[in-house]
Amino acid sequence: MAIKRAEVIFWGRVQGVGFRFTAEDVARDNNVNGYVRNVPDGTVELVIEGEESTLQKVIDSLNDLMGQVIEKYHVNWFPATGQFQRFEIKI
């Protein structure tokens, strides 16, 4: 199976509602590396690397858990870079 990188932008009322902490829990539960951060424009950026099916599971779980605050999201898929050793919340 191929290791991939997913770069996801979430729009909606996604800041100040525990989104990053939920993303951290889901990412760590699924053993993926990367980060989540609030973006000044009000969106949240999630960058994760791992097996493609696992990354999709993380994205789907976030949509299930935080769907009430997500208006939309967009995923860009890339080859993994291997730059991450763990998952973190960037400030």
Q: Which residues are catalytic?
A: 20, 38
Backbone angles phi, psi at 64, to 5 degrees: -65, -45
Counting runs of H as helices and runs of E as strands, what totals does the chain give?
2, 5
Question: Which residues contact residue 39 at a Cβ distance below 8 angstroms, ignoring those fewer than 6 apart?
Answer: 9, 45
Q: From edge to edge, which strands make up the β-sheet containing 44-51?
A: 70-79, 3-12, 44-51, 33-38, 87-90
